[in-house]
Amino acid sequence: MAGFGKLRVAVVGAGAAGLCAARHLLSRPDTFAPPVVYELTKNIGGTWVYEERIGCYDNGLPIHSSMYRDLRTNIPKEVMSFPDFPFAKHLPSFVHHTEVRKYLEQYCDHFRLWDHIQFGTSVASVTPVDVKGGWNGLAWNVTSNDGIDHSKSTTERFDAVMVCNGHFYDPYIPAIPGLEKFKGTLMHSHDYRSAEPLAGKSVVLLGAGLSGLDIAMELSNVDAKVILSHGQRPLTCPLPPGVQQAPPVTSVLDDGTLEFKDGERAKPEVFLFCTGYNFTFPFLDEKVGVNVQEHLVWPLYKFLIPPAYPSLFIVGICRAICPFPHFHIQSQFVLSVLDGSFPLPSREDMENDIELDIAARRARGIATRHILKLDSEQWAYNDELARLGGFQPLPRYWSNLYESNKVFRARDMLNYKTYNYTVLENMEWKVHDLHGQQLQKPLAVKKQI
């Protein structure tokens, strides 16, 4: 590092990923100057901050949170936590979203992050600059606007930028022919807050991801008549009362009727899209060349680094993952790149690595839009980053407990959140149901991991 001074790193966003990035940068004062964390809102926690209003704030900025009132986590707290900061012992395994927000605030207290966050600040642009003697010959200009006085913009220079702006706020609405002809209420789960406004109504809910299933259960509790429309194999676990399955909606007819792939029709009062979100990086300079196509962000080496601009890091874009531990691993890998303990391959080698990786996934039948969906492959990914960066991998039981919860969830969607997990001293774990009965671990997971 001789002659360089300390590396200045900007962090965009103070959700869980941005806080984790800041925590690790602050842990290495030998190499890194204290980070500057830019946060659009007045709070930390990003997607975990519940906002009853939808649409826009009073200042005209869009409301990013997609949190709904009664959400409880779908991952047990025992593996949802950052590995270096467990949730409070007394909490149940599946906690209400307010507990996660509280946890993130405690994480900020514990690692003393508050002073490094600039609240009410929007990042307008992140632009690379050629600098002789800079890290890889590069630096970054970050221009930000004060949330109150938009005319007041500030530009600061950094050696590296970690983009942690989240991806649960720009709703993805699939193109369905004739959608504009639908006569009822059209909404996306981004604007769903509670079931009561839909009590007793007929609803077609498109998408059977975790939010879709969760919201279908909430609607069932208020006697809505729900058709769960999706393209996956039909669910075999018990469904809540008043919920039936259908294939995807393929078109909306002239009179506003929805037509399904099997030719069946329905005319619901509400058409609710639980179809996920778009990635968006409006502040990134175009010449950086980070593209978003069919829900894939590329080219990114290890789903993190654009080869042409290797001091930019797009953190936390992988899906179907255990998020906080994933951020914990990615942040440490970023530090290992910046401090030189993991020397990056050449631009050409990184580009080849990306092409081979994407080709291998396509060869296994993975559609472009699912490439970032790591699912059970997240454990090998996390371990590879830890190996390359030379830091502690996740404890061995982590993957097994997480994958077992997935099996329980698929078996019993209605009750799996009542289970409680215990991690034992020897890194083993056990699980009990609501009545304190110890459950058998799923065999498939035992063998697999």
Average pLDDT over residues 102-121: 98
Which 3-state string (H, E, C) describes 40-78?
A: CCCCCCHHHCCCCCCCECCCCCECCCCCCCCCECCCCHH
The pLDDT, as a whole number, for residue 3 is 37
**pLDDT (tens digit per residue) in 56-65:** 988 888 999 9
Q: Give residue 401's pLDDT band: very low, low, confident or very high (50, 70, 90).
A: very high
138-189: per-residue pLDDT in tens? 999 999 998 766 678 999 999 999 999 999 999 999 999 999 999 999 999 9
Query: What's the confidence (pLDDT) of residue 448?
Result: 47
Task: Flag whether pLDDT at 444 surpasses 90.
Answer: no
Q: Judge whether residue 83 has pLDDT over 90.
A: yes
The whole-number pLDDT of residue 152 equals: 87
pLDDT of residue 2: 37
Other Cβ atoms within 10 Å of 58 Cβ, number: 6
Give the H or E element holding residue 378: helix 378-389
What residues does 262 pair with on adjacent strands?
A: none
Quote the pTM value: 0.96
Residues of the chain with pLDDT > 70: what percent? 97
Q: How far is CA 286 from CA 1, 123, 281, 347, 351, in A?
A: 30, 15, 10, 18, 18
| Contact (CB, 8 A) for 401 and 76 | yes
What percent of the chain shows pLDDT beyond 90? 94
- Pairing of β 225-229 and β 243-246: parallel
Residues 231-285 pLDDT 10s = 999 999 999 999 999 999 999 999 999 999 999 999 999 999 999 999 999 999 9
